Amino acid sequence: MKRTCMRTGRSTLTAVLTGALALGLFTATPARAADTGVTVSDIVVNKGKPIIVGITEEKEPAVTFRMTWPAGYTSGDITAFPHLYHETTAAKGAETGIRTGYVTYYDDTPRSANVEGVLYIDPRWTLDSTKDATTWKIAVNVRRWAHGSETKLEAEETLTGLGTVQVKRAARATVNASPEPVAKNKTLTVTGKLTRADWGREAYVGYPDKLAKLQFRKAGTSTYTTVKTVRANSTGSLKTTVTATTDGYWRWTFGETSTTGGATAAGDYVDVQ
Peptide bond into 181 cis (omega under 30): yes
How many beta carbons lie within 10 A of that of residue 4, not counting itself?
16
**DSSP count for the chain of H helices, then E strands:** 3, 19
Residue 257 has pLDDT above 80, yes or no: yes
- Residue 8: C-alpha distances to residues 63, 102, 145 (Å): 18, 9, 14
For 81-127, the pLDDT digits (tens) are: 999 999 999 999 999 999 999 999 999 999 999 999 999 999 999 99
115, 203: one domain: no
Average pLDDT, the chain: 90
112, 99: one domain: yes
- Per-residue pLDDT, 110: 96
202, 162: one domain: no
Phi/psi for 136 (5° steps) reads -105, 145
Domain final residue pick, 128, 151, 168: 168
Residue 34 has pLDDT above 80, yes or no: no
What is the average pLDDT across 143-167?
Answer: 94
Confidence category of residue 1, pLDDT binned at 50, 70, 90? low
Cβ 188 vs Cβ 243: under 8 Å: yes
Which structural domain range is residue 266 located in?
171-270
126, 104: one domain: yes
- Per-residue pLDDT, 99: 96
**How far, in Å, CA of 148 to CA of 108, rounded?**
20
Residue 8 has pLDDT above 60, yes or no: no
Name the E strands within 38-134: 39-45, 51-53, 62-68, 78-85, 99-109, 112-120
